Structure formats: C-alpha cells, structure tokens
Homo-oligomer: A and B are copies of this chain.
C-alpha cells in the first residue's frame, strides 16, 4: 500500500539498524530515506530514533510507535479480509505458529481440508517453541498459535484446549511393545531419546523423574522429533512424544503407547490467539475448524 510506505521505511531502518543499509533494502538512496524519516519525526512531533555513531536505534517513543504501526497494519489486512468475505469470495492469509508435533499429520490434513473449501486462502506455518509462539502473537507475526504447554499465558487467549498424555515411542519388536500398562520405570531401563529442554514433553518427563528422585540421562537429545522417532529404530531406545504427532500404521516398525498417567502427567495442547485481537475472517474460521478437529480427538 502506497500510503503505508513511510511505515515500511521506518521498519526497514529498524531491521537494518542504519539508514544506509536500509536504503539498499528499499531501493532508495540514503539521503531520500533519511529525509523521509526526518519528515515523519517532524510531523509526529518527536524523534523516534536514537542517532548512534554506528547507526540508528528506536528510542522508547519509537518502540511505542512501532507497536501501533504493527497492530494497525494487521488490522487493515483484517478489514480487507472482511471485505473479501463480504464480497462472497473468501480470501486471505492465515499464519500459524505451532509446535513441531503438529507438522507431520494434524496441520497438513487440516490445512488441506480448509483449502479444499476455500482455495483463495493461503497459509504460512511457522515452527515455534512455547516461548517464541507467544512472542509471535504479540508482534502480530502470527494470527494463531497451536502449542503444547505454553509458558506465560499473559496476552494469550485460549480458543481451545486438548489434554495430551505423553507417549513413549519404541520398536514394535522391542521389550516395551509387550507391556500393556506402560510405566515410567520400564522406559528408563532403555536408552532415552529425548527432546531438548525447551520442549513441553521434556519438561513433563523431568518433572516426573525428579519426583521419583531419578535423573534423566538421554542417550540422544535433539530438537527434532523426527530424528528421535527414527533413532529409536536403530538402537532399541525409547523416545517420547504427544500422540497428535504420531500415527499407528500396522506395517510400521514403530509403535507407541501412553506412559501411565500415574507416572507422567499429561500436558495441554492449546490453540490460542493474542488476547483481545479481532482476527481476519479466514483465520477465525480456520481456528473454528481446528477447535472442532481437536474436540473430535478428545472423544476418541
């Protein structure tokens, strides 16, 4: 949008950290860019940048303004989305920050389902850990977040919650496969393939282990759930994940089962948005669909 150009330029300067670098990104000369910034500060009434010998940085006034700019712009896209909806053609873009576990099955299915009804809607899916997801919402870079065991919950408005037990993942031909009620101590006798500390599953496991005075000493620790799943096949190890990211296929060499809730508490998978924000039409409708799908899983 032409009339938002000044804001784009300001953002470019914030990102680049200096006018000269931002000028390259925006296909302008440093002088032109400089004058636009100055003109804006003049009209706004106060400087919004600190001038440092090495470049520019936002001052507190600028931070305040940036927050406003971001909210304004996403609000405008919401209006456009509403207008598109008004005109009958559902268009728009849904951006969602989610935990890794949603990537293999749940989200692809849901997105495909939504796009089959509304081909004009596009999606961007960003993998974020529990902390980053909330930061994404606050900075308006994601409309929705679907995360396991979020941390802060301030500014986070829960649209739907689903309890997910921690599942152990193991070889179908291993010793664990034969147990009917799976206890934590059974798992701890095997080599452990655990997610990194930042992840909710890991936190729940640590909690359970320390309560029993035992320490978790992973053989393999990774940020990739996919790696963990595959590693389990090589050594007769045990991995952990939530069931929404797992699927039972009879021909598969992998199997999984819930660790007894007596040992490891379940966690919450939360669908949420930034508190108080009015979502674009497409995002709101997609959130409804997700909530329905999650509710269906709860009754399974």
Interface residues of A (CB under 8 A from B): 1-3, 5-7, 39-40, 43-46, 60-61, 64-65, 68, 71-72, 75-76, 79-80, 82-84, 86-87, 276
Contacts and interface: CB of A to CB of B under 8 A. Distances in A.
A61 B80 CA distance: 8
Contact of A45 (B3, B40, B83): B83
Majority secondary structure, A binding face: helix
A130 B79 CA distance: 30
A2 B82 contact: no
In this complex, the member of A40, A61, A83 whose beta carbon has the largest number of chain B beta carbons within 10 angstroms is: A83
Nearest to A1: B43
A86 B68 contact: no
A86 B72 contact: no
Nearest to A276: B276
Contacts of A79: 64-65, 68
A68 B82 CA distance: 12
Contacts of A86: 60-61, 64
Contacts of A46: 83-84, 87
30 contacts: A1-B43, A1-B44, A2-B43, A3-B3, A3-B6, A3-B40, A3-B43, A44-B83, A45-B80, A45-B83, A45-B84, A46-B83, A46-B84, A46-B87, A61-B83, A61-B86, A61-B87, A64-B79, A64-B82, A64-B83, A64-B86, A65-B83, A68-B75, A68-B76, A68-B79, A71-B75, A72-B72, A72-B75, A72-B76, A276-B276
Given A2-B39, A3-B6, A276-B276, A44 B80 contact: yes
Contacts of A7: 3
Contacts of A80: 44-45
A43 to B, nearest CB: 5
A76 to B, nearest CB: 6
Contacts of A68: 75-76, 79
Contacts of A64: 79, 82-83, 86
Contacts of A82: 64
A66 to B, nearest CB: 10
- Could you say which of A71, A79, A86 has the most chain B C-beta atoms within 10 Å of its C-beta? A79
A282 B93 CA distance: 38
A79 to B, nearest CB: 5
Given A3-B7, A61-B83, 19 more contacts: A1-B43, A1-B44, A2-B43, A3-B3, A3-B40, A3-B43, A44-B80, A46-B84, A46-B87, A60-B86, A61-B87, A64-B79, A64-B82, A64-B83, A64-B86, A65-B79, A72-B72, A72-B75, A72-B76
A76 B82 CA distance: 23
